[in-house]
């Protein structure tokens, strides 16, 4: 079988309150259709319905497998679906877009997971709490199961502090992508996250060995998601484009669409990252972490002031809620800008912060960054975990991430929290 230029799986896990919007995205992709050069496969998982599809000519389906019940939040089902498509339709380049829980899990889904891991009234009470907490943004059900496991309630609450089940979901994502890369015998050319809050340095660093180009948002994603007709239509017309070119195209079309159709919250940001170069950002962040750790007694007040300033500006004085700050994720560019400009920071810390700003400049690892709204001016496109002392403890699961350990960010965070309480 001759190889296509691209085979792309768009995995629409819409078993939540976005089911109809998931169908809208599915229909947009079907209307673009596959060609000899670009094959589109989709999974749609909605409440009580769904299936796997391969698009034919525009507006048609060439292959499908239906189902009534499917666990789209199971990472092993994602691996199986990718194998189903990629082994049937080999290509020069492979893409994966995860369309997932943009406004959280349905309460009954969380109740079901709670019942699996806990018993009786305790599970029911706790699941009702969780439906409205940051933990309800978990990408995978396996993360929810981990967060619901029997343990002290205080510890479970802390685990939920890690944005979108941040550490736990990132570990699962790396496992999924590694398995897919092994199947196709090469890294994914493109990973797109049509899901909230996934453009973090921790995520980018974790998956850098199994993905070439990464496109995501550091903020919440509007329910109408990506403009697939424009994005996939452009790829159909230019199938020879690389993953980095496609990632840039996603950013451009996403920002253009929402500038013309502003969402209620106005939280429109998107970034494209060349993961072959993301180590440069990681190294700059490590130098900043080391400089802060060495003189943290001087810099606790500097860090907290910079965080408050970013919260006021990007949160529009509390008018935008929820935001990434509710999940303790902070824009790395804003942090670096504030630290570099602080007269109270040491020269070593200001220099290191300047290096972070330089590493985030478009043309290196950052292929393209786009946003709508002047409250995002000066942002760098990638968030980082920087839970403020006195508000929540550092998540016990954060140390599982490669960035947290290797780039000394956990060590810096630990020192920040220790000194803030002395």
At 100 the pLDDT is: 81
Q: How many CB atoms lie within 10 A of CB 417?
A: 18
Residue 68 buriedness (CB in 10 A; 0-12 / 13-18 / 19+): exposed
Percent of all residues in the chain with a pLDDT value above 90, rounded to a whole number: 59
Residue 219 near residue 314, CB atoms below 8 Å:
no
Least confident stretch, 107-121, 268-282, 357-371: 107-121
What single DSSP character describes residue 188?
E
331: Cβ contacts below 8 Å, ≥ 6 apart: 218, 310, 314, 324, 379, 380, 381, 382, 383
Considering 1-5, 52-56, 370-374, the range whose residues carry the highest mean pLDDT is 52-56
Domains of the chain, each with CATH number or no CATH:
4-103+167-276 (3.40.50.11970), 279-362+374-420 (no CATH)
At 346 the pLDDT is: 97
Residue 393 buriedness (CB in 10 A; 0-12 / 13-18 / 19+): middle
Which whole number is the average pLDDT over 112-121? 49
CA angle 356-269-179, nearest 5°? 80
Q: Is the pLDDT of residue 152 over 60?
A: no
Among residues 374, 364, 269, the alpha carbon closest in space to that of 323 is found at 269
Least confident stretch, 41-55, 298-312, 337-351: 41-55
Q: Which residues, in sequence order, are bridge partners of residue 271?
A: 216, 369
Which whole number is the average pLDDT over 37-60? 92
Q: pLDDT, tens digit, for every residue of 159-180? A: 444 444 566 688 889 999 999 9
Q: What is the pTM of this model?
A: 0.88
Q: Is the pLDDT of residue 113 over 60?
A: no
Q: What is the mean pLDDT of the chain?
A: 85
Coil/strand/helix, residue 41: strand
Spell out the alpha helix ranges (H) of 33-140: 75-88, 107-117, 120-130
């Amino acid at each position: 079988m001759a190889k296509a230029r691209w085979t792309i799986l768009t995995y629409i896990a819409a078993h939540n309150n976005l089911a109809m919007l998931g169908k809208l995205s599915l229909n947009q992709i079907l209307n673009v259709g596959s060609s000899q050069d670009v094959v589109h496969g989709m999974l749609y998982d909605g409440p009580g319905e769904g299936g796997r599809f391969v698009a034919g000519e525009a507006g048609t389906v060439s292959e499908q497998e239906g189902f009534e019940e499917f666990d789209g939040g199971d990472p092993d089902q994602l691996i199986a679906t990718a194998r189903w498509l990629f082994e049937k339709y080999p290509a020069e380049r492979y893409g994966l877009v995860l369309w997932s829980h943009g406004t959280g899990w349905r309460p009954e889904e969380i109740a079901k997971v709670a019942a699996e891991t806990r018993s009786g009234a305790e599970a029911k009470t706790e699941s009702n709490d969780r439906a409205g907490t940051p933990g309800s943004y978990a990408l995978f059900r396996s993360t929810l199961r981990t967060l619901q496991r029997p343990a002290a309630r205080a510890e479970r609450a802390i685990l939920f502090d890690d944005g979108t089940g941040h550490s736990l979901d990132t570990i699962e994502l790396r496992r999924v992508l590694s398995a897919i890369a092994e199947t196709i015998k090469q890294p994914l050319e493109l990973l797109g996250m049509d899901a909230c809050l996934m453009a973090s340095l921790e995520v980018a660093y974790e998956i850098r060995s199994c993905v070439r180009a990464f496109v995501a948002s550091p903020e919440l994603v509007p329910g109408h998601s990506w403009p697939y007709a424009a994005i996939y239509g452009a790829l159909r017309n230019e199938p020879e484009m690389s993953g980095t070119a496609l990632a840039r195209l996603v950013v451009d079309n996403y920002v253009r669409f929402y500038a013309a159709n502003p969402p209620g919250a106005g939280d429109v940001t998107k970034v494209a990252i060349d993961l072959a170069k993301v180590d440069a950002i990681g190294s700059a962040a490590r130098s900043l972490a080391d400089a802060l750790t060495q003189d943290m007694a001087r810099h606790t007040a500097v860090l907290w002031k910079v965080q408050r300033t970013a919260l006021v500006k990007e949160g529009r004085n509390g008018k935008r809620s929820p935001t990434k700050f509710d999940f303790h994720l902070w824009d790395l560019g804003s942090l670096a800008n504030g630290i570099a400009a602080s007269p109270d920071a040491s020269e070593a810390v200001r220099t290191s912060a300047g290096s972070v700003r330089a590493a985030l400049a478009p043309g290196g690892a950052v292929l393209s960054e786009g946003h709508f709204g002047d409250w995002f001016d000066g942002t760098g496109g990638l968030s980082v975990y920087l839970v403020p002392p006195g508000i929540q403890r550092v998540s016990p699961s954060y140390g599982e991430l490669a960035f947290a350990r290797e780039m000394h960010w956990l060590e810096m965070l630990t020192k920040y929290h220790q000194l803030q309480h002395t």
